[in-house]
Every structure is written in C-alpha cells, then in structure tokens.
Structure 1
Amino acid sequence: MALSILSNTAATKAAFAMNSNNVQLNKSLNRLSSGKQIVTPADDAGGLAVSMKLGSSIARNKSIVANIQNAMSFGEVQDGALSSAAKIVDRMAELTALSLDVMKSTTDVANYSTEFKALQNQLFDLTTEKFNGVSLFNSTSGKTFGTDVDNVEVITSDQGGAGAKVSMSKGLLLGAMTFSSFTATSAGAVGAAGVKSLANASGSEISIASSSANNAFTLSFFAKATENIATLRATSAAGLARLQLAEDHVRLTVANLEAANSRIMDVDVAAESTRFAKYNILSQVSAAMLVQANQTPATALMLL
C-alpha cells in the first residue's frame, strides 16, 4: 500500500472500528445499568410491542385480583351477618319454648317477650346491612324466599364484561323469615297481607305474650327459619369457594404473564457481562491502534 500524507486509510478504518466497539459497549452499559434487554425501541421493536401488551394485561389482571378480594370480603361480611341471624333465631326459639312453660307466670312471659321484641328489631337491622353501600341482603317488598334476587356480578377476566364472571347472591334474608302461615309450611311474600316475619322494625308483628293476638304459632316456625338461613349460608359459601378458585387462577395467570414478559425484557446479566468485557477490551485496543495509525504518515518525513 502506498505511503500517503493526504489520506490515512488505516486510521479511518481504525476510527470506524473504535466507534462500532464504543456503540456496543454503551449498549451493554445501558442494559446492565437498567436491567432491561430492550432499552430503546431500536433494540427490538417487535419485542417491545409484545412486552407493552403483556404489561397491560398484567396490570388488568392485578386489578381483577383486587376486585375478587373485595367480593370475597363482601361474602365474608354477609356470612357473618347470616351467622348472627341464626343465633338470634335460635335464641328466639328458646324464649318461645320457655314462654310455653305452664309454670311461668304472666310476668315471666312478659319478660321473655321484652327480649323477644328486641331480637326482632336486631334481626330486622341485619336485613338492611350494607357493605360499602352495597346491600348484603335484598329486602325488597313483595319477594318471597327462594326467588331470584339482585346479585353482585364479579368480573374475573381481563376481558371485562365479555369475560368470565362470578355471581354473588345477595340472598333474601327478610323473606327467609316471612311466612304465609304460623305453621311455617310455606313462605309468604314480604309485605303481603296475611304474612308474618320474625324480623320486624317495631318488634310487634310476632309476640310470645299470651295476651297478644300475634302469638298463635308453633316452634316449627323457627325451625323453618333456621333451615332457610342455613340455605342462604350455603349459597354464600358456594360463591366464596368459586371466588377463591377464580383468584387462584388469575394470580397464576399474572405469574405466567410476568414470566413471559421477563423473557422479552429482562437482560441476561451473565451473557451481557461477557459482552461488556469483550467490547470494553476491543474499545481500548481500537483506540490504541487508532493512535498508531495516526502516527503512520509521520514516516513520510524521513523520506524528505
């Protein structure tokens, strides 16, 4: 190759090699410092697009988990209220049985009746309880126990309303304690004529006082009410069980999506450290060779 002063091809090539090595070295530095395989869109445009969609899906599914947990809290509060209702009905049955004792005086029965009325009030209060503004039990008048009532629809898919749902029954607690006859053979519509309910705001719809016109009923009334409450608890528990399975499924989905996104975005530290060491050495070597190449034209001075 001819010795030239105006052109230094060796230096030009050495500079190009040094720049290329520095570009790769900077990429490795950025990847290792950020922990990401894709630092700029130019690194992998297609992979970045897939990662964005996966990230969005992960965020949606995490929100779904939060919604499911809120629904489970709703169901747990509902079950607690039903458990309390069952205890109240059991106590009312005890008071009724005690009042039937012929050895009890009118005063004794009146004392039992006072507690009985208070329990009716408390039972009615339970039917109106809410969770964050959502009624635990649909107490709409005109409905009987066993009929369809408003449900709480819980979305369990990141597809929204078009995806999977779990229906949490709000249960008709007031209807479970309302009957068309004192023999408790059939349920009556809430608020209808000729029906009585254990749950009453005034505590006067049913009485165990012998002097009251509303005391003509049997203990089977309470047995049926307890059976109805047990049915409501079973329905609530079934919804909770399904929600738990739905939560487990969504959590597993989130874990799998995060793993998929990690394969695209996360840098392999071991491999990238090797690349960094490689280009770090090449960058230093190419810089040294550029210095040598720049000194080559000076040889021409020896010929002058």
Structure 2
Amino acid sequence: MSEQVTASLAGSRLPPDPRSAAYGFKQHKRKSGQNESSGDADTLLVDMSQTRYREPAASNRSDVDEAVSFSQTQAAFLGVVQNALDRMNELSVLCQDTTRSNADRAGFTVEFTQLQNFVSDIGTKKFNGVGLFNGATLNVGDEAAGTRVPLNAIDWTAARLDQSMAVAYDCSVTEVTTPGGANAAVANIRKALENLVEMQSNVCTNLQRLSLSNEQLSVLNQNLSAANSRMNDIDWAKKLTELARFRILGEAVSARSTQANTNPQTAIRLLEPDRS
C-alpha cells in the first residue's frame, strides 16, 4: 500500500516532458480521449506548459496571415500601376509626333496628367492604417521564438527619383506638353517601369517568405497540439500506481512459485531415512 501511495505522489510531480522515464511503461489512453484528473495540479501544470508555446504560435500564424493579405494588396496595386505606366508610355510616344496638332497634344496631356495623379495617389494607400508604400520596414512574427520575418520595404517616394515612382508622376520632371518633353518622359517612364519591376519582385519575395513561414508555423501548431493531446490523455499518478501494482503482483507470484517449489522438496527430505 505504501508503495502505491508513493507512486501516486511521484506521478503528481512528474514534469511534462515526453522524454522522462515515465514514458518507459505502456501508455494506455481512455476511449473518450479525456483525462479524468483534469482538475489536478499535474494536469494544470501540463496545460500551462503547453499553452505557453501554443498561444504564441497561434498568434504568430495570425500575424503571418495578416502580412500575406498586406503583401497581396501591395501586389494588386502594383499591377494597376503597371497598366497606368504602360498607358503613360503610349501617350508620351504619341506626343513626340510632330505631325500632331497642339489640340491633340493638349488632349493627350490631360489624360497623362490624370494618370500621374493616379500613380501619385497610390503611394498614400494604407492597409489597416499601415502605409503600403511608405518605405517602412515591417517585421512579422516573434524574434524570441525564431519566427520573425522582415518584409522588404516598398518606397514610393524615395529620396532619389531614380529609385522611386516619383520619377514618373512628378510633373516638374515628366511632362508631355512638347515633343522634347515627351521624349524625356519616355525615358523617365521606362525607368519607373524598371523600378516597378523591382518593387514587384520584392513583394513576391515577401509572399514567398511568408508562405514558408506559414508552413513552418502550421507544422509547429500541429506538433504542439499532438503533444498536448498525448500529455492530457495520460493520468500520470494512475499509470504509475498501476505500474507499482503490477510490480507487486509480479513479486508475489514469484514468491508463491518459489514457496510451491520449496514445500515438496522439504516433504521429501523429511521422508528420507536418516543415514547417520
């Protein structure tokens, strides 16, 4: 009885470590999948230990999902800007034609200016209050947990015009009111298209990294859930008490077998004649 009590007390103090020696005996799970001692201190300790890892992992995955939506929104806007720049390039080529009248060129200029304003306005767009193209570096995930994912910044108004979209929508730099201005506008717009391709590449890189991070967190959540299920489905005190019981029964059976073999031998020795 004392050994059973000792085993029960020892079971309540076991750490929630699947590599502990207690895993040496066979683990039987209830069909219901629930632990009878859900209110015990040992189960509470297990739940707290597992929750410490599960909750941050779930939160990080939510952050990654939000960042994916952020990057997808960036990609969508950049696709629209590409269409606008392509049209601006066409208008620049048309305005270079010296056979065009001033009235024709004025009509092209109105559309060109509207497209410039549209491209400029894209730089002010936000996602949940966060600027999409303000050049700020965003970090997703928890650095302490090793799930931090820094996103490539997209700067719409970089200090150098040759590194931003401002080269295309800045009216003081790009205009098509004259054939000469239109000729310079073509070069500026092509530079803007090159910058746009680089921005799109950065966004695609962000999406790829976020996808890999999402897969990593998914595997982590699955492993933590599986570990938590295995831990909660085992009543440590009960299992250790059963182990002690089986050990005592085994020793009792061994003692009985020894005694059963000894008694006949004793009777035979008593029946043997005294040879002294």
Same fold judged by TM-score > 0.5? yes
Deviation at 1:198, TM superposition (A): 1.8
Structure 1: any 5+ residue segments left out of the alignment?
1-30, 139-148, 180-186, 191-195, 269-304
Asked if the contact 2:92–2:183 (Cα under 8 Å) also holds between the matched residues in 1, the reply is: no
Q: What's the counterpart of residue 138 of structure 2?
A: 152
Q: What's the counterpart of residue 23 of structure 1?
A: none
Instruction: Give secondary structure in 1 for the equivalent of 2:138.
Output: strand
Residue type at the aligned position of 2:225 = E
1:208 to 176, 187, 201: 176
Residues 1:35 and 2:31 are matched in the alignment: no
1:164 to 117, 138, 147: 147
CA distance in 1, matches of 2:117, 2:176: 15
Deviation at 1:37, TM superposition (A): 4.3
Q: What's the counterpart of residue 197 of structure 1?
A: 167
TM alignment of 1:142-291, pairs within 5 A: 149-156=135-142, 159=144, 163-175=146-158, 179=161, 187=162, 197-200=167-170, 206-210=174-178, 215=182, 217-266=184-233
Instruction: Give secondary structure in 2 for the equivalent of 1:167.
Output: strand
Q: What's the counterpart of residue 11 of structure 1?
A: none
Asked if the contact 2:136–2:155 (Cα under 8 Å) also holds between the matched residues in 1, the reply is: no
Instruction: Give secondary structure in 2 for the equivalent of 1:206.
Output: coil
CA distance in 1, matches of 2:109, 2:38: 77
Residue type at the aligned position of 2:228 = N
> Where is the helix percentage greater, Structure 1 or Structure 2?
2
Asked if the contact 2:64–2:214 (Cα under 8 Å) also holds between the matched residues in 1, the reply is: yes
- Overall identity of the aligned pairs, in %: 29
TM-score by length of 2: 0.66
- Measured against aligned partners, the alpha-carbon deviations of 1:4-53 in whole angstroms (never above 9, x if no partner) come to xxxxxxxxxxxxxxxxxxxxxxxxxxx888832432316xx2x5413321
CA distance in 1, matches of 2:234, 2:46: 16
What is the aligned residue count? 208
2:70 to 71, 74, 78: 74
Deviation at 1:266, TM superposition (A): 2.8
The 3 A distance-change label for structure 1 pair 259 and 75 is: same
Q: What's the counterpart of residue 96 of structure 1?
A: 92
Instruction: Give secondary structure in 1 for the equivalent of 2:178.
Output: coil
Structure 2: any 5+ residue segments left out of the alignment?
1-29, 236-276
Asked if the contact 1:32–1:267 (Cα under 8 Å) also holds between the matched residues in 2, the reply is: no
Instruction: Give secondary structure in 2 for the equivalent of 1:150.
Output: coil
Residue type at the aligned position of 1:257 = L
- Measured against aligned partners, the alpha-carbon deviations of 1:52-108 in whole angstroms (never above 9, x if no partner) come to 211231122111111111111111111111111111111100000111123311101
Residues 1:65 and 2:100 are matched in the alignment: no
Calculate the aligned-residue CA RMSD, in Å: 3.0
Residue type at the aligned position of 1:199 = Y
Asked if the contact 1:37–1:265 (Cα under 8 Å) also holds between the matched residues in 2, the reply is: no
CA distance in 1, matches of 2:37, 2:78: 54
Residue type at the aligned position of 1:36 = N
